[in-house]
């Protein structure tokens, strides 16, 4: 089991100088994940919060080989780099005992939506890469538009709440299960608030042969609209309400990594967030009921899958 003091001694691969918002979950995620392998690392980073905030010209906060890709093709970019690496090994231009790891990453806009086709192709072809989605439930970098990861009832700039609408009308896409359906060796869902679980999953993802996918909840004060200091607590509540359950799928086998002793009401997660404040009007009570019902159904199904 990794010890925090040992990880703290490791060299930072995402260093000081980035411009992430106060209370943002991205640095918490990547400080842990980038320590899960000590091998040389190549990262393809889709346009988004992480890319923009870490490469403010003329500076960079990256201490690894890093490539900026468009919204739609981070997975294709890292797949191409991995294929080139294998080809150069076959030709003897890279020593056979040389190991390099490959990581593609993007937010939910560049992963759930715009980049889904490239991601699906990379997984289906079996490239030996890890792809990490930092899911902050919105297009946070481009104006706060709703994505297919945005929760039911959330107000966003393209699904605004008002007298005629309760916010986003659709249930969020379950991307973790979509990637599981690709029959790849490793898929996991994690949270930065349980760093040991996140580290273990990232380590497995880097070590497995073949493609791996990590979906990590990413707290976002700008779009969730909460006090910056409350983000970590909100991410913990997301896990305890089962809005964001922690589990992994290894070679098709589901495993729950955390089961709350007492599952909390979704209201404990929703109330502190300004994007949901309109749902407490009487006419939108049905949205809260539907939200709780869907979370309960998905939790029951996940428990069933994990018991098989």
CATH number, position 208: 3.40.50.970
Give the mean pLDDT of 93-115: 97
Residue 114 in contact with residue 80, Cβ under 8 Å?
no
Predicted confidence band of residue 211 (pLDDT cuts 50, 70, 90): very high
The pLDDT assigned to 187 comes to 98
The per-residue pLDDT for range 241-297, each reduced to its tens digit, is 999 999 999 999 999 999 999 999 999 999 999 999 999 999 999 999 999 999 999
Number of domains in the chain: 1
Alpha helices in the chain (DSSP H): 4-9, 26-33, 49-54, 74-90, 108, 116-125, 175-180, 195-207, 221-224, 231-240, 267-270, 285-306
Residue 199 to residues 168, 189, 194, 195, 274, Cα–Cα distance (Å)? 33, 12, 9, 6, 31
The pLDDT assigned to 251 comes to 96
pTM above 0.95, yes or no: yes
Domain carrying residue 83 = 4-306
Residue 298 to residues 110, 148, 258, Cα–Cα distance (Å)? 24, 17, 15
DSSP for 254-307 reads: EEES---SSPPPTHHHHTT-GGGGGGGSGGGHHHHHHHHHHHHHHHHHHHHHHT
């Amino acid at each position: 089991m990794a010890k925090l003091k040992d990880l703290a001694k490791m060299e930072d691969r995402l260093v000081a100088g980035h411009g992430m918002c106060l209370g943002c979950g991205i640095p918490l995620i990547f400080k842990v994940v980038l320590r899960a392998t000590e091998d040389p690392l190549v990262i393809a980073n889709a346009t988004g919060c992480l890319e923009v905030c870490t490469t403010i010209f003329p500076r960079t906060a990256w201490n690894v080989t890093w490539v900026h890709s468009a919204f739609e093709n981070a997975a294709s970019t890292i797949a191409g780099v991995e294929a080139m690496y294998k080809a150069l090994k076959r030709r003897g231009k890279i020593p056979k005992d040389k190991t390099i790891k490959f990581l593609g990453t993007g937010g939910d806009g560049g992963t759930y939506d715009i980049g889904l086709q490239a991601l699906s192709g990379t997984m289906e072809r079996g490239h030996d890469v890890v792809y990490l989605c930092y899911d902050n439930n919105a297009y946070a970098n481009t104006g706060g538009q709703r994505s297919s990861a945005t929760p039911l009832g959330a107000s966003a700039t393209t699904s605004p709440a008002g007298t005629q609408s309760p916010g986003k009308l659709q249930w969020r896409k379950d991307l973790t299960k979509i990637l599981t359906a690709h029959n790849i060796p490793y898929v996991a869902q994690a949270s930065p608030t349980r760093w040991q679980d996140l580290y273990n999953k990232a380590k497995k993802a880097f070590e497995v042969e073949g493609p791996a996918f990590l979906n990590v909840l990413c707290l976002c004060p700008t779009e969730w609209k909460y006090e910056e200091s409350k983000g970590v607590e909100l991410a913990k509540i997301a896990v305890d309400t089962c809005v964001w359950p922690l589990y992994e799928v290894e070679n098709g086998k589901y495993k729950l990594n955390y089961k709350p002793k007492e599952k909390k009401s979704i209201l404990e997660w929703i109330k502190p967030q300004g994007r949901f404040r309109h749902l407490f009007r009487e006419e939108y009570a049905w949205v809260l009921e539907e939200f709780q019902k869907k979370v309960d159904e998905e939790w029951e199904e996940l428990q069933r899958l994990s018991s098989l």
